Amino acid sequence: MTTIRDEQLLAYFQRRRDEILATISQLVTHETPSYDKPRLDAFAGLLSGRLAAAGAAVEIIEHPTRGNHVRARFVHGDDAAKPALVLCHYDTVWPVGSLATHPFRVEAGKAYGPGIFDMQSSLALVKYAMHAVRDLDIALPRPVIVLMTSDEEIGSSSSRALIEAEARKADYVLVMESPLPGGVLKTTRKGTGAFIVETIGRSAHAGVDPYKGVNAIEEMAHQVLAIHALADREAGTTLSVGMIEGGSAPNVVPARAKAQVDVRSWTQAEAERIAQAMATLQPMLPGAQVTVSGGWNRPPLERSATGALYERVRAIGRTLGLELSEGGTGGGSDGNFTGALGIPTLDGLGVPGDGAHADHEHILVDEIPGRAALLVAMWKEL
C-alpha cells in the first residue's frame, strides 16, 4: 500500500469539494424527522447503498418503532486490531415540509439546508473518506465501524444499547457531530436529564370550603423553588422547570399539578447529587404528596475521556494546516454514552458552520476538504 503525505490527502479532497457538496445537497433534500419511520427507513436504505459502494460491508439493523439503524464495517489494512468507531445520526429536528421554506442553497460560501450542519454533511464526509482510503491505497491500522443511527435528536432510546455495545469493542470513538463556532472540537458535554414532579393535594370548593382542600399548585410552587435551589452556577449545574400543568377549574382547589424539569451537569458527581436530591423532595403543605419520576438520560462527557485523544488529533490537524481547539457545550450527544464507558472519545468533528436547529443552519463550503482530510488522517494515524 502507498505512503500518502497529508498534503496529498488535503489536495485530494480539495479537488472533490464540489462533488462532496453535491452529495450533501442530495442528502439534505431527503427529510428525516426523528418520528417519521417510513422516511427514516428509506433514508437508511439510501445510506446503506452509498456506504456499500464506498467499499464497506453494511448491515441495516431494523427496529419495530423507530427508524432503522445502519452499521458499516470498513477494512483497508489490518483486520485484526480493535476497530475505530465512528458515530453519526441521520435524524433531524426539522419537520416534513421544511425544504419548502428552507431549501438547499449556497450563498457567499455558505451552504444552507435543514439538518445540513447537524449532521447530514457528516454522512457525506464518511462516505468520501472511505473512497479516499481506497483511491489512495492507504493502509489503515484498524477496521472502522460506522454507526448511522435514527434517533439521536430524541434521546437515542432505540440506539443506545447498540452504541454502547460497539464502543466496548472499540479502541476509540469519533463523533461526527457539528463543531462549536469556529470549528472548535467538543471535549466536554453536559449530561442531560428530564424529571417529572407531581404534587397531589385534595380538591374542594374554592369559595365554600377552601380550607378543606390542599392546593397542589401551591405545593408545586414550593417544589419549584426547592428544585431551582439545587442549581450550582459555579459548577455549571442547571435545573429548569420548563412546563407546569394543574388544576381543573378556577373555583376548585386543585388536587393535582405536574412539572417537567430539565437538568444538566458537567460531571457525574453532580449528576448523582441531583438525582439523590430529586428523589428525596419532601412536601411542604400538610396533607400534600410529592412524587418524582424520570432521571438522567445522558451521562456527562468529561475531559478525562476526551483529553488524550484530543491532543493526538490536534497534532494530526497541524500536519494538515489545521489549528484545532477545544470547548464544551450544554447539549448532549451519543458521545456522552461512549465517554461514560471510559472509551477515548472525541466529538464535534463535522464540517464547521453554525445554526444547528435554527433558520440560519449552514456549513462553510471551503471547510469541507479540511474536515474530510482530518477524518482520513485520524483513521490512518490513530
In order of their start, the domains of the chain are 6-189+301-381 (3.40.630.10), 191-298 (3.30.70.360)
Query: How far is Cα 150 from Cα 377, in angstroms, rounded to an integer?
Result: 27
Number of neighbours of residue 238 by Cβ within 10 angstroms: 17
End-to-end, the C-alpha distance of the chain in Å comes to 17
Torsion of CA 121, 126, 128, 132, to 10 degrees: 150
Of the CA atoms within 13 Å of residue 90, those in its CB half-sphere come to: 34
Taking 70 as the threshold, does the pLDDT of residue 120 lie above it? yes
Residue 210 pLDDT? 93
Is residue 143 a contact partner of residue 83, using CB atoms and an 8 Å limit?
Answer: yes
Name the DSSP class of 313: H
Query: How far is Cα 133 from Cα 110, in angstroms, rounded to an integer?
Result: 27
Is residue 197 a contact partner of residue 292, using CB atoms and an 8 Å limit?
Answer: yes
Closest CA to 357 of 155, 111, 140, 178: 178
pLDDT tens digits for 58-100?
Answer: 999 999 999 999 999 999 999 999 999 999 999 999 999 999 9
Residue 172 pLDDT? 98
Query: How far is Cα 145 from Cα 158, in angstroms, rounded to an integer?
Result: 19
Is residue 61 a contact partner of residue 69, using CB atoms and an 8 Å limit?
Answer: yes
Is residue 88 a contact partner of residue 340, using CB atoms and an 8 Å limit?
Answer: no
Measure CA 356 to chain center: 11
Distances (CA, A) of 276 to 26, 227, 270, 337: 47, 12, 10, 21
The mean per-residue pLDDT over the stretch 268-282 comes to: 97
Query: How far is Cα 133 from Cα 2, in angstroms, rounded to an integer?
Result: 10
The band of 3, judged by pLDDT with boundaries at 50, 70 and 90, is low
Is residue 363 a contact partner of residue 351, using CB atoms and an 8 Å limit?
Answer: yes
The band of 8, judged by pLDDT with boundaries at 50, 70 and 90, is confident
Taking 90 as the threshold, does the pLDDT of residue 148 lie above it? yes
Is residue 96 a contact partner of residue 56, using CB atoms and an 8 Å limit?
Answer: no
pLDDT tens digits for 336-373?
Answer: 999 999 999 999 999 999 999 999 999 999 999 999 99
Query: How far is Cα 370 from Cα 320, in angstroms, rounded to an integer?
Result: 7
Name beta bridge partners: 301.
189
pLDDT tens digits for 184-199?
Answer: 999 999 999 999 999 9
Query: How far is Cα 189 from Cα 368, in angstroms, rounded to an integer?
Result: 24
The band of 4, judged by pLDDT with boundaries at 50, 70 and 90, is low
ω into 119 cis (within 30 of 0): yes
Q: What is the mean pLDDT of the chain?
A: 96
Query: How far is Cα 225 from Cα 183, in angstroms, rounded to an integer?
Result: 38
The mean per-residue pLDDT over the stretch 221-234 comes to: 98
Residue 203 pLDDT? 97
The mean per-residue pLDDT over the stretch 307-325 comes to: 96
